[in-house]
Amino acid sequence: MVWWKSSIPMSRTFATSMRNWSGILRKIPGAELLWQTEAEDNSAHWDDDEDDEDDEPPPFRPDFQSYHVFFPAPKGSEFEFETETENLEEPDPEDPDGELATVTCPGRGRYGCGVAVCLATPFAAIRSSEYAHFEDGSTWTPDPGEGAYSDEKGEPVDLAASYREAVGENAFAKLENLRARIAKVLAKHGVVVLDQPFWICRRRNSRRIAKYS
């Protein structure tokens, strides 16, 4: 099974192919790769065309996603921010009247680009995003495949305008420059960057809500 035609030598294992992309993205000047989807042995190499009777299809996984996400970010303090998240803390088991308590946990984050590379076809999607880690060990991870965002009134959010306001005009221009450089690198290896990631087969059911300061 061939995932896509590319100048990058593709392995039959998920981890090896994504290491190739990881290495390429790490070489982009002025940026650093802060996070990527964890590699798993998800039997993605199973070939539907093989006539081997012993070749069983991969097991069904409700959390499977058909793309791998990378998060490269520009270097510089203008792309850093402080944030917080709220978690529910279990009551003391010895207290019969104990109730769940809301605990605020501080964290730090970075603005950058979420890059989703399809595992089945030579397509990718890139958009401004953010990554954050909190003192309780939890994280907020980017996912360009989550679709459109909406505000409290259900109106669509202009993500470009939101990030421009959050980081300022100069820093946003650097984000757009990084996006263009990533797209150029992907194109060099035969991967087309789409405006809308229609190829995404799975979206997360929920997302951590963080408050940005």
pLDDT at residue number 7:
43
Nearest Cα residue to 55 out of 45, 67, 65, 64 = 45
Give ∠ CA 18-22-27 in degrees, rounded to 5.
155
User: Half-sphere exposure of 189 toward its Cβ, with a 13 Å CA cutoff?
Assistant: 21
Residues in contact with 92: Cβ distance below 8 Å, sequence separation at least 6, in sequence order: 98
Pick left, alpha or beta for residue 11 (phi over 0 → left; psi -120 to 50 → alpha; otherwise beta).
Answer: beta
pLDDT at residue number 196:
60
Where do the domains of the chain lie?
14-38+62-212
- Are the beta carbons of 178 and 31 closer than 8 angstroms? yes
pLDDT tier, 70 (very low <50, low <70, confident <90, very high otherwise): very high
pLDDT tier, 186 (very low <50, low <70, confident <90, very high otherwise): very high
- Are the beta carbons of 81 and 213 closer than 8 angstroms? yes
Distance CA(96)–CA(107), nearest Å, equals 32
Q: Which residues pair with 130 in a beta bridge?
A: 111
- 83's enclosing H/E stretch is strand 80-89
Q: What is the pLDDT of residues 34-61, one digit of tens each?
A: 999 886 544 444 444 445 555 555 554 4
Q: What is the pLDDT of residues 3-32, one digit of tens each?
A: 333 444 443 444 456 778 899 999 999 999
Q: Which residues of 155-189 are buried (b: 16+ CB within 10 A; e: fewer)?
A: eeeeeeeebbeebeeebbebbeebbebbbebbeeb
Question: Worst-scoring range by mean pLDDT, 46-50, 143-147, 173-177, 206-210?
Answer: 206-210
Q: Which amino acid is at 165?
A: E
Q: Residue 21: how many CB atoms within 10 A of its CB? A: 22
Spacing of C-alpha 90 from chain mean position: 30
Distance CA(198)–CA(20), nearest Å, equals 24
Distance CA(15)–CA(178), nearest Å, equals 25
Reduced to 3 states (helix: H, G, I; strand: E, B; else coil), residue 144 is helix
Nearest Cα residue to 111 out of 180, 38, 145, 160 = 160
Q: What is the pLDDT of residues 133-147, one digit of tens each?
A: 999 999 999 987 665
> Model-level pTM?
0.72
